[in-house]
A and B are shown apart, each in its own frame.
Chain A
């Protein structure tokens, strides 16, 4: 294999591994902000205990996210030097801004958030949590801007093969950016909400620490109830944006080979094994004219087929068709589960329906899988370009020997495998240990008129 292919595999693998952690960091940070706000506002000890429990999961997750993320920033130079050289003027400042405004904010206040309990007032602690959460979401802002630019480049002119910036505003707020960012942030919030819900459901099924995890589940489900429908909506907008700016990607995602003739809508392919060589689908099951309806919102709107594009400008339909469907399926499944939750809530049986709780446990990892599937759809759909339509992936790699990448890829697989396995081991260990209900609250954190846990528990039983 050549440097380009190896580097793509390496960048893809390390990104896929890395993105799991920020996904949870971004969402869980918001969750912690809410819990700490409730702690300061209601002064119920249960919220303090909840914070201390969930922040441990947050800390373990954050550590792995940080160290796996640095490797990505370096790989732009080590593996894709020619790409970096060409686009530096436009997107590198965004990455510098990410470091300045996001990473420092997270890292600077993380210390206080995790270790400051005995040393700062509750307000400063809350402020630190807010800053960490802000940093996490801001980091998404900058990196999604840079990534979206690769899909719909704007605000530049090409001079001798280099992208010279003409407007940073246009480069940052490029056409794909708003939906791209919203889709990723919502994925983080939704995935994290379902992660917290799944863990809480597990404890509720076991009948352990029931009031504690009822409260956690309630908050998580509120978050999920907001996110699940919104994400479907944003996903639709994202799809429309792809249809407008990256028609080849859309055609591959939908395994749509032939442009539909005038006056007849494009069929929606529900199932197929797309074949790139023969330019057709095997075992195809279609729903007539639905694709036009979905994308153009009219029954016979025209949608370009993949065959309209030269062979060497087509992304892989076999991969995209399925990764896209997997992602969408999870989105709708989560929406359905939230409808079920609504029914149970109205019947006041949200916490004691075992089938529902079991479902929450089972679907918990799906958000992470959907996030990765979405990223594969997005980035493999960009191929064969690094800058859509302008710079080919084949011309983007570093002038290095392939052996370098074989070496590093092997080590990445080994090390990330080891660290991923350890991560799960320690997360499960922390979960098994459960929340700590009795350790002393540091004196500086004690709030006047605090409602101790016992009373909180009783008032919950009454409800």
Chain B
């Protein structure tokens, strides 16, 4: 039992790490059309080139970990969300190859497009996946028993759009840290309007979610959740206000931190609505969990290896800290 709780927290941690890290990476891709010329695009690309692969690896590990410790989430979710998940991968493929292909190419325009559209498709498909997951998946005997397009609904499309706005916010606030001059000025503007849109979407989705699955309200307002559930909207509002202020005062690091907090508040609020469901509306994490031995064996790895991973990830970020300059060319 304790093992299951440790693991659901760890999986939750991996997912949010992915969302935050690849969120700003994809966000830079979403902002690509806003760049004026190739030089600006080179610079924007250079802000994420050394880290994008490591960021993306969190979803690879997330998939593997889910498969290992909550195999039924993995099998049911992945067959139910076949189309959005593979669409997500197709997006990642074009986003990923664009880095090296663009750097080698003399006609960069096609890979600029691949980079933007790859990021856009990946982000939107992620949102569709999330929206469909919240809406619930039809299962019989813990196996997917729905249709190919069950994931498609006004709600999931809205979540998809919300995620685009969210990643634009993360991307633009990240660019504020890494760049200066014209790109940075533009990023401040982009972050400001993205902040308002994100706030709007968060209100909309929060208001809409209970009607998608009434059980969510029940869980939200049940004991003991009722005692801390208020914290997430408060945290979100504080983060939003702090974001606006820090953007206005032209702080460089705070807007990014505020955006991460905003993102975190939404995520925690959502988690509080779903837990202890593995797959809404019926399958709990206790049903979805793997054999105890599998959870223990994998936990050893996480306990020993993951701190090391976090260590060198932080080291890598510190190697590439500071503003990206134009002369710092591609390898």
Contact = CB atoms under 8 A, between A and B. Distances in A.
A296 interface: no
B78 interface: yes
B50 to A, nearest CB: 3
Interface stretch (B63-71, B163-171, B240-248, B277-285): B63-71
Contacts of B53: 66, 106-107, 110-111
Contacts of B312: 108-109
Contacts of A64: 97
Contact of B144 (A56, A109, A400, A426): A400
B101 A85 contact: no
B76 A92 contact: no
Contacts of A110: 53-54
Contact of A81 (B46, B64, B78, B291): B78
Contact of B93 (A88, A100, A115, A419): A419
A55 B67 contact: no
A399 B145 contact: yes
A73 B64 contact: yes
A285 B210 CA distance: 73
B75 A85 contact: yes
A164 B92 CA distance: 34
Nearest to B96: A67
Q: Which of A79, A88, A112, A403 has the most CB of B within 10 A?
A: A88
Interface size class of A (residues with CB under 8 A): 35 or more
Given A56-B331, A59-B100, A111 B54 contact: yes
A100 B309 CA distance: 8
B144 A84 contact: no
Interface stretch (A25-33, A116-124, A197-205, A338-346): A116-124
Contacts of B68: 88, 92-93, 95-96
A164 B291 contact: yes
Interface stretch (B186-194, B265-273, B313-321): B313-321
Given A88-B74, A96-B61, A107-B57, A81 B50 contact: no
A89 B294 contact: yes
Contacts of A68: 93
A389 interface: no
A92 B67 contact: yes
Contact of A426 (B69, B101, B306, B309): B101
Interface string B299-327: 00110011001001100100110000000
Contacts of B305: 97, 100-101, 104
Interface stretch (A226-234, A249-257, A404-412): A404-412
B83 to A, nearest CB: 6
Contact of A93 (B99, B294, B331): B294
- Chain A contact residues, majority secondary structure: helix
A65 to B, nearest CB: 10
A96 B10 CA distance: 13
B301 A77 contact: no
Contacts of A66: 53, 56, 96
B296 to A, nearest CB: 10
A246 interface: no
A407 B87 CA distance: 11
Interface in B145-196: 145, 147-148
A93 B70 CA distance: 11
Interface string A40-72: 000000000000000110011011101110110
A462 interface: no
Nearest to A76: B67
A347 interface: no
- Looking at A92, A101, A426, which has the most chain B CB atoms within 10 Å of its CB? A92
Interface in A354-375: none
B253 interface: no
B227 interface: no
A106 B316 CA distance: 12
A429 to B, nearest CB: 6
B101 to A, nearest CB: 6
Given A103-B61, A165-B291, A74 B78 contact: yes
B67 A111 contact: no
A163 B230 CA distance: 44
B96 A63 contact: yes
Nearest to B312: A108
B232 interface: no
Interface string B136-149: 00000001110110
Contacts of A419: 93, 97
**Which of B51, B104, B145 has the most chain A CB within a 10 Å cutoff?**
B104
Contact of A430 (B97, B104, B301, B316): B104
Given A63-B96, A112-B50, A400 B148 contact: yes
Contact of A115 (B49, B56, B72): B49
The 10 nearest A-B residue pairs measured at CB: A77-B78, A111-B50, A88-B71, A99-B61, A67-B96, A398-B79, A92-B68, A81-B75, A92-B67, A96-B64
7 contacts: A77-B67, A77-B75, A89-B291, A100-B305, A101-B301, A111-B316, A398-B144
Interface of B: 46, 49-51, 53-54, 56-57, 59-61, 63-65, 67-69, 71-72, 74-79, 82-83, 85-86, 89-90, 92-94, 96-97, 99-101, 104-105, 143-145, 147-148, 290-291, 293-294, 297-298, 301-302, 305-306, 309, 312-313, 316, 319-320, 328, 330-331
